A and B are shown apart, each in its own frame.
Chain A
């Protein structure tokens, strides 16, 4: 695999990507149903797009898919770190180059010729998703076991603060997914690459 120069995404990246996508869809849609049981903002999520049928069902889905997200996420991060991919794909990160790429993207002049190369916007977005997912897991741990993780609970500002953080981190992830899907629609080759690797 190492000398296959045409490969854009190695198999483990593709596998963890799609497992993660499944886990995120299940967690987000079941999480919305849980939120609806006691909303803390002035809106509810339409039931039609939630998973679980009722609070107990949604919690079962949520607390099953969390294991998938965590296990898959750990595999992804460990493979990323030991393969060195994390450093040479996502770094260096330069703020000025980031803004230049954002401008280029908005003008439609950002090159996607080489899909194995991540531009600054991609690097920042993917790194953000990694950090955001970690925050989702940590705030989720505080919601699930607030008594058993006192340091984490206090770091996040207590149980009630963790609820909001968990929700906002979800919203950020969903916003990313929306933009991500839009980008895939604009450059459909990327979808093929994430399926067959090239």
Chain B
């Protein structure tokens, strides 16, 4: 599966670079594609039990995807931009707060603070890359809210940082755009709707429990939204872009509901 560049090619720098880039792209793509294959069996155990495929699986999946898109619309309609998620006292914080990602704890990404720059692109007026110091200099807020995972479990944590609405206004984002997308240092990516981006509890999180965000919770920065499920809250954010083109997401492209709101 993994093709090694031949020795002769190693002489040609450009070719090697091209080959390597392709190789990296292919390898990054692997887990997702493998997941797609495993996960296409939407009938699960029941189709094994019946021993035959009574319905065409891809048409079932298309129908389920159509309902999922419909559920996005229903959730956007139900979403009240002023309704706050419940907040809790310090004593109710879940300790230790669980680690969760699409990879294990031994693969947590380490991001260097000195070289870190947050890229801001798309439908924004100010496209300069932000340093952590600049982000820390903005007015901060904190919240103790419940994180609800798509798996069902929930945990209460304390996050602090820049209200995302303030940040979007500061960079002159087009607030009438449909989506805000995120690209992360751990190759995760996701996107959210503008009303949720502007929700008062949506936080560009720099701290956890009043300490700088540790790598396991997404150093240097994650987006915390108590109005959305965990997989909508990206960690290790490197790039933020404002767009009208649907950006999808790591899990969303595999079948998790895009809106993912609670």
The segment from A15-23, A84-92, A131-139, A146-154 found at the interface with B is A146-154
How many residue pairs at the A-B interface have CB separations less than 8 Å? 108
| A153 neighbours in B (Cβ, 8 Å) | 86
Q: Would you call A56 and B254 a contact (CB within 8 A)?
A: yes
Contact of B151 among A37, A150, A160 (CB under 8 A): A37
Q: Would you call A55 and B151 a contact (CB within 8 A)?
A: yes
Q: Would you call B75 and A145 a contact (CB within 8 A)?
A: yes
Q: Would you call A148 and B42 a contact (CB within 8 A)?
A: no
Compute how far the CA of A176 lies from the CA of B251 in the bound complex, rounded to whole angstroms.
36
Tell me which residues from 205 to 262 in chain B have a Cβ below 8 Å from any Cβ of chain A: 226-227, 251, 254-257, 261-262
Tell me which residues from 74 to 106 in chain A have a Cβ below 8 Å from any Cβ of chain B: none
B66-80 Cβ-contact flags toward A at 8 Å (1 or 0): 011001000100111
Known contacts A145-B75, A163-B152; is A57 also within 8 Å of B39 by CB?
Answer: yes
Size category of the binding interface on chain B:
35 or more
B94-112 Cβ-contact flags toward A at 8 Å (1 or 0): 0000000000000000000
Compute how far the CA of A58 lies from the CA of B49 in the bound complex, rounded to whole angstroms.
16
Size of interface on A: residues with Cβ below 8 Å to B? 37
Q: How far apart are B202's CB and chain A's nearest CB, in angstroms?
A: 12
Tell me which residues from 145 to 180 in chain A have a Cβ below 8 Å from any Cβ of chain B: 145-148, 150, 153, 159-160, 163
Q: Would you call B67 and A64 a contact (CB within 8 A)?
A: yes
Q: Would you call B80 and A148 a contact (CB within 8 A)?
A: yes
Q: Would you call B151 and A54 a contact (CB within 8 A)?
A: no
Known contacts A35-B152, A59-B150, A159-B154; is A51 also within 8 Å of B227 by CB?
Answer: no
Q: How far apart are A188's CB and chain B's nearest CB, in angstroms?
A: 24
Chain B interface residues (CB < 8 Å from chain A): 38-46, 48-49, 63-65, 67-68, 71, 75, 78-80, 83-86, 146, 148-154, 226-227, 251, 254-257, 261-262
Chain A interface residues (CB < 8 Å from chain B): 29, 33-35, 37-38, 40, 46-61, 63-64, 67, 143-148, 150, 153, 159-160, 163
